[in-house]
Amino acid sequence: MTQVLIIDTHPVQYRAPIYQDLARYDGVSLTVAYYNDASVRGYRDVEFQREVKWNMPLLSGYSHEVLLPGREDTRDTFWGFKGIEVGKVLSKHKPDLVIIHSVNHWVGIRFALAARLRGIACWLRVETQDEAFIRRSSLKQTVRSLGYRAIYSLFNGAFCFGELNRRHLVAHGFKPSQLVMTRFSTVDKAAGLSATEKSTRARALRERLGISAESVVVAAFGKLIPKKDPETVIKACIALAATTGRDVTCLLVGSGALEEDLRSRYAQAPGIRLVLTGFINQDEIGDYYLASDVVVLASRREGEVWGLVCNEALQAGCALAMSEAVGAAPEFGHRERCGIFAIGDVAALTTLLQKLCLFERDYNWASGFMQDYSTEAAASGLASVARLVRRREG
């Protein structure tokens, strides 16, 4: 039995299902140690501009420990999350394998240092990549790389989220032989539904939102903040309607600082229907994807290391348009019903939408390749390293 200890900042809706899958593997005894559990108890999300409490089971199905219970925020500074006694945590759980999900805080690096000193196998699983922000100066890049190399030298290996993450890990010290691919994964919210059931759910939601069955629904999901650039999506929808003569609905699913401004300025947008839903929680959001034809992630180069919206859109069979700043673009951009456009380029996005809107709705067109981005596939990658550690110790 391999004792696996995962160190994570807080319960996250796309990571907890992986832990639930991993806990079911024979030969793996899993515990997840969280710095805090504010995402379960509820906290104020500054970017959503509201209280957020995910309404899905994030702590069931696996053993866990909250190291700093009662905190009111999931975030902290590099030197934050004080009060976590790293040595006591390792002594309590006696892991054979430690997996660390963040080195953005000193406490995560302390866990890696302590594991190395105790001879415990220690693996890294971070979402970091080098294309998420505007290019830094040569000096800053050099200093940043030196820092990563020093930190990454503490680890026996790393799990890759995707191609850009793999390139980052290799560029900053890991050998390709030290890497195991566990792609960015999300739960398929429509798994188990037939095409007829999916169509029925989509039709019912459209009726509730006042959207006709004939309307082309171009949707953006996420926080309505400058980083996500929802205004480019609205402008492209207006241009799409003008150039094609089609009935176009622009569906913005989420909340944030730009919500009221967009609502007031585009309430009478020419040629389209604009629907702003506000914040939608996890148990309902799947139907919004089913009701959409094309999903757009128009992010600027301000830290979009992946874009889980891309996974959820493809699992629902939507066509997908991504800005070149989206971390998932190299993964999906070459697919038949996907495309990439330049950041903030309304004309380029409009041209792409014209192409993507020609496809007949097919809820299952991406189901084959999306198996590689399932939580089960990610858990399998983690389990493979746990088995490797057990064999070496045996």
Q: Where are the domains of the chain?
A: 2-185+374-393, 195-369
What is the C-alpha separation between 311 and 321, in angstroms, rounded?
12
pLDDT of residue 207: 97
> Which DSSP string do the residues of 190-252 spell out, in sequence order?
TTT--HHHHHHHHHHHHHHHT--TTSEEEEEES--SGGG-HHHHHHHHHHHHHHH---EEEEE
Residue 132 has pLDDT above 90, yes or no: no
pLDDT of residue 46: 63
What is the C-alpha separation between 26 and 127, in angstroms, rounded?
27
- Fold agreement between 2-185+374-393 and 195-369: yes
- The alpha-helical segments, DSSP class H, found in 161-229 are 163-171, 195-209
| Residue among 354, 356, 353 at smallest CA distance from 365 | 356
pLDDT of residue 127: 94
pLDDT, one tens digit per residue, over 74-128 is 888 999 999 999 999 999 999 999 999 999 999 999 999 999 999 999 999 999 9
What is the C-alpha separation between 105 and 326, in angstroms, rounded?
24
In the CATH hierarchy, which fold is given to the domain comprising 2-185+374-393?
Answer: Rossmann fold (3.40.50)
pLDDT, one tens digit per residue, over 331-375 is 999 999 999 999 999 999 999 999 999 999 999 999 999 999 999
Average confidence (pLDDT) over 182-207:
95
- What are the b/e assignments for 65-87, b being 16+ CB within 10 Å? ebbbeebeebbbeeebbeebebe
Give me the helix-helix angle, 230-244 and 346-356, nearest 10°.
60
pLDDT of residue 394: 55
What is the C-alpha separation between 274 and 117, in angstroms, rounded?
57
Q: When comparing pLDDT for 73 and 233, which is higher?
A: 233
Residue 274 is encoded by which pair of tokens?
């604009």
CATH number given to 195-369: 3.40.50.2000
The torsion defined by the Cα of 346, 348, 350 and 353, in degrees rounded to 10, comes to: -130
Residue 287 is encoded by which pair of tokens?
């139907």
Task: For Cα atoms 254, 260, 264, give the angle at the middle one, nearest 5 degrees.
Answer: 125
